[in-house]
Amino acid sequence: MKTQMVNMLRLMLLINLLTGCTGDFLDKKPQKSLLVPQGLTDLQALLDNSINLMNVTPSLPMVSDGDFIMSEPVLQSQSQMTQSSYVWSDQVQNELADWDIPYKQVFYCNIVLDGLANMQPDAGTEYNSVKAGALFFRALAFYNLAQQFCAQYDPATASQLPGIPLGLKADINQILPRSSLAQTYDRIIEDLLKAEPLLETTPLYLTRPSRPAVQALLARVYLSMGDYAKAGAFAQACLALKNDLLDYSTLKPASASPFPLPLVSGNPEVLFYSRVNTLVFDNTGATADSSLLKSYQDNDLRKLLYFNSAANYKGSYTGTIYPFSGLSTSEVYLISAECQARTGQTAAAMSTLNKLLENRWIKSEFKQLTASSADQALSVILSERRKEMVGRAVRWQDLRRLNQQPAYAQELVRIVGGVTYRLAANGRRYLFKIPLDQIVGSGIEQNP
């Protein structure tokens, strides 16, 4: 009997041996492609998720900004969300990609920043580049949200008006209220200022930020805040590092897509690549506003490079039918010129503008533009800005800021199905309604 008991124990031991080293046995990854993002390479890989996430920006402002007109049948075939935005309707959407995607970008950035916080800081290029990348993408996402869901920034009221929820940790259980508008802009500026010194001049890929790209974004942000001195300074700093322009006279106006693919063959003007998140209107569905079209002079190459004979847009710097929404030197030239004009440097402003325009006209026909006063310079620059930047997702931001100045304020009007729709300068619908799922899920304050 005793031996039987011993045998039994031996057998039990054998089984335990069979299953020995259980630690290793159970530590096997269930899926080979899975990772817990830890090292710099993993974190960079999150930021490089460009195609449908990090390098896409909101699209509805382009539907609302009035630069493009859709015929009624085309409009009717659009989503209810697009139709609503087109006529500045008060209808609240259940969900909005324009809200969700920027916050998903913020979430990725916060995972990267939390990951970096758990690592030994080092001053190496890779570490700096990952950190600055996360700060840049987060700032860009917050900025895009502010342009769509917050009031236009005004230093006098910014601390009283609501901003957006500012999640700074990858903790999804934390449901945040709306910050103030001042806090929102402070956060954007702080992140960008931190990122700027950490970056190199030339990025490995144009989907990643570089120092000139951060400076260009800072210039854009300060411009929208009305801080022309700082906007101008960052524009200058950017151009000091990179001031290349694409000579439009080398392009073929007859081509259906005249601009080079920035990520493949290269476009010297592109500082940072991004596109809008949905195909707002395919290239035959919408035509450019006729007053805009009329504003191009005959020898201005942009008219033929940006539009086909049916006034459909074909001028995207993405080289595809998706509108470009990234950063380019041409925008920085325009910011620089505008800030120079606004700070009284008329001659410098016109000189900056002419440098850009030289590359936009048939060379032999181009005559330098002049202005007799800073105000006149500003007017010329703003007009050129609209002509240059059409289809690049900045018109909405320009309308919002220019509406603050009575001289440039304007009302948008659309007629659809015999009904006239208006968006007054500073009208209520310059703030999009926050999607209902956000309001229901978090209880944050809805826009009026």
Least distance to another protein, CB of residue 100, Å: 4
Least distance to another protein, CB of residue 78, Å: 10
Judged by beta carbon, residue 31 or residue 372, the one nearer another protein is 31
The C-alpha atoms of residue 63 and residue 65 are separated, in whole angstroms, by 6
Least distance to another protein, CB of residue 388, Å: 21
Q: Which residues contact 377 (CB under 8 A, 6 or more apart)?
A: 337, 340, 341, 346, 349, 350, 353, 371
Judged by beta carbon, residue 23 or residue 406, the one nearer another protein is 23
Least distance to another protein, CB of residue 444, Å: 8
Least distance to another protein, CB of residue 238, Å: 22
Helix (H, G, I), strand (E, B) or coil at 421: strand
Least distance to another protein, CB of residue 271, Å: 15
The C-alpha atoms of residue 156 and residue 178 are separated, in whole angstroms, by 19
Sign of CA dihedral 127, 170, 188, 398: positive
Least distance to another protein, CB of residue 95, Å: 7
Nearest partner of 220 among 429, 400, 18, 447, judged by Cα: 400
Judged by beta carbon, residue 76 or residue 290, the one nearer another protein is 76
The C-alpha atoms of residue 388 and residue 296 are separated, in whole angstroms, by 10
Helix (H, G, I), strand (E, B) or coil at 217: helix
Least distance to another protein, CB of residue 272, Å: 12
Q: Which residues contact 224 (CB under 8 A, 6 or more apart)?
A: 147, 152, 153, 397, 400, 401
Judged by beta carbon, residue 22 or residue 291, the one nearer another protein is 22
Tokens of 221: 């942000």
Judged by beta carbon, residue 15 or residue 123, the one nearer another protein is 15
Least distance to another protein, CB of residue 365, Å: 27
Nearest partner of 322 among 275, 285, 389, judged by Cα: 275
Nearest partner of 165 among 118, 102, 233, judged by Cα: 102
- Residue 274 burial (C-beta neighbours within 10 Å; 0-12, 13-18, 19+): buried
Judged by beta carbon, residue 95 or residue 411, the one nearer another protein is 95
DSSP collapsed to 3 states, 84-106: HHHCCCCCCCCCCHHHHHHHHHH
Tokens of 60: 């509805």
Judged by beta carbon, residue 156 or residue 254, the one nearer another protein is 254
Judged by beta carbon, residue 31 or residue 250, the one nearer another protein is 31
Q: Which residues contact 31 (CB under 8 A, 6 or more apart)?
A: none
Judged by beta carbon, residue 1 or residue 123, the one nearer another protein is 1
